[in-house]
Structure 1
């Protein structure tokens, strides 16, 4: 990999044991990890991680799965910590109509509230969208006034271009290495690299050749390799451009 820095723009470090965590972070010591919160507990974990580890930055927010647990304290945690220079965004936020179908109204309300927070503090919004792409797009088009990342993008090429027109970058993860991931490969082939970011969503969605094992941020290298293969460019170019994209989109002060 040489001297080119790699940035995993999305993972969940709270899901590792302490021993695993030290190994995972040490392996990425010359690179950058952006860890994502999902609820009160994991948001507090993110604060701990960014304060402890030099190469770890974080985003904090309420994932749609935890909308029913939201209290005033949830937003206090976000606002109290949002000016920490190593907290670089609000996330993982958004809409999920695949796992959670009975509280769309609450999901929409909490999503909009967090977009407004990102706007207020000029922080990057990190978006989760599953089976909800039209609502996600319409809300972002109406409310978003800051930078944003659509994590683990998995929709159509047509929708990808609509999000890009809003200034949103697309997170590409391990799924691109799977044999049956035709749609994501089409996105990578047709979308300019300047709109793409590397991510792992660790410990989930482990890329080939490690599929079946617990994912980790260093596996971003396999995502980058697959992007290079699809685009018929060098691995170095993929790393250079996606790292520049991440530094810019998250306003990283390295």
Structure 2
């Protein structure tokens, strides 16, 4: 049976995934607001099963049926948030995040991180750092992984190497760096997982180099649906994860079954064994 793991998706904005009976689907849906979290939790699959098949490590039990998707949730304050300079907003968001952590409703914090891609985003660099530090502290406090968003800021994350070593795992969403930078992060002792999506279909050289050369045990894949579209597309769909896997098989010169099983194990490790291996 082929297992597809989507390490980063936005379920509340995505259409229902459709997979074959001999396929299993696992995903982590990234939420950035109370509304998005609640919307994702109401998402239904197939015969009306709730979106968060298992919400956390605490209640992840044996998977009921191969054809029922299994969705987990992460929550974080995005570095692109237009309200980073609003102190009240940040305090409320951090309080909501900690409530989710205390209630064991999420399995990771994020996506969070740094975005200096535009002058507008870079103008909030100080606020981004403050908010990231708070989320990093919570990841250490609750011993959960971080899901990182980094644009034009890869060098920034190296200054956090010592702290990142103290959390169970760091998932680099749509990793923007080079193969050497990925190697350096793992050499710093970070339990790093590098996730790749449609850029490997679009010929992004750095991403392709990483997928070809990084150890298999450090790889994850994603769609970022409904975002991260290719030229001519208006939307990315959850089932596009199959295209990403096929391309990864081509790049690694391995079969789908081998890739599927390895990435499934990586998914388990990255997200604290919240998925039961069966």
Secondary structure at the counterpart of residue 154 of structure 1: coil
Matches within 5 A, 1:39-78: 39-48=33-42, 52-53=50-51, 54=53, 55-66=70-81, 67-69=84-86, 70-78=89-97
Distance 2:144 2:39 in 1: 19
Give the structure 1 partner of residue 228 of structure 2.
205
Unmatched segments (≥5 aa) in structure 2? 54-69
1:58-207 → structure 2 map (5 Å cutoff): 58-66=73-81, 67-69=84-86, 70-85=89-104, 87-99=106-118, 100-139=121-160, 141-144=161-164, 145-146=166-167, 147-165=169-187, 166-179=190-203, 181-206=204-229
Q: 1:240 to 1:158 in 2, by over 3 A?
A: same
Identify the range of structure 1 (119-128 vs 197-206) with the bigger mean alpha-carbon deviation: 197-206
Aligned 8 A contact 2:31 2:37 in 1:
yes
Q: What does 1:212-227 correspond to in 2, within 5 Å?
A: 212-227=233-248
Distance 1:189 1:135 in 2: 25
- Secondary structure at 1:112 match in 2: helix
User: Is the Cα–Cα contact under 8 Å of residues 112 and 143 in structure 1 kept in the other structure?
Assistant: no
CA 1:47–1:73 in 2, change beyond 3 Å: closer, same or farther?
farther
Query: CA-to-partner distance for each residue in 1:187-244, whole Å, 9 max, x for gaps?
Result: 1111111100011111112469xx6142122211111111111111111111111111
Q: 1:190 to 1:30 in 2, by over 3 A?
A: closer
Q: CA deviation at 1:37?
A: 1.2
Q: Give, in angstroms, the shift of residue 42 of structure 1.
A: 2.4
Quote the Cα distance in structure 2 between the aligned partners of 1:207 and 1:199: 14
Residue 242 of structure 1 corresponds to: 263
SS at match of 2:175: coil
Instruction: Give the TM-score, by structure 2 length.
Output: 0.80
2:252 pairs with 200, 209, 231, which one?
A: 231
Give the secondary-structure state (helix, strand or coil) at the position aligned to 2:123: coil
Q: In 2, are the aligned partners of 1:207 and 1:223 still within 8 Å (CA)?
A: no
Q: How many residues align?
A: 242
Moved over 4 A (4+): 46-51, 83-86
User: In structure 2, do the counterparts of structure 1 residues 97 and 40 end up closer, same or farther at CA, with 3 Å as the change threshold?
Assistant: farther
Contact 2:154 2:176 in 1 (8 A): no
Distance (Å, rounded) in 2 between the aligned partners of 1:49 and 1:112:
31
In structure 2, the CA distance between the partners of 1:52 and 1:84, relative to structure 1 (3 Å rule), is: farther
Write 1 or 2 for the structure with the bigger share of helix: 1
Q: Distance in 1 between matches of 2:130 and 2:174?
A: 22
Cα pair distance change 1:183/1:42, threshold 3 Å: same
CA contact (8 A) 1:203 1:215 kept: yes
Q: TM-score, normalised by structure 1?
A: 0.87
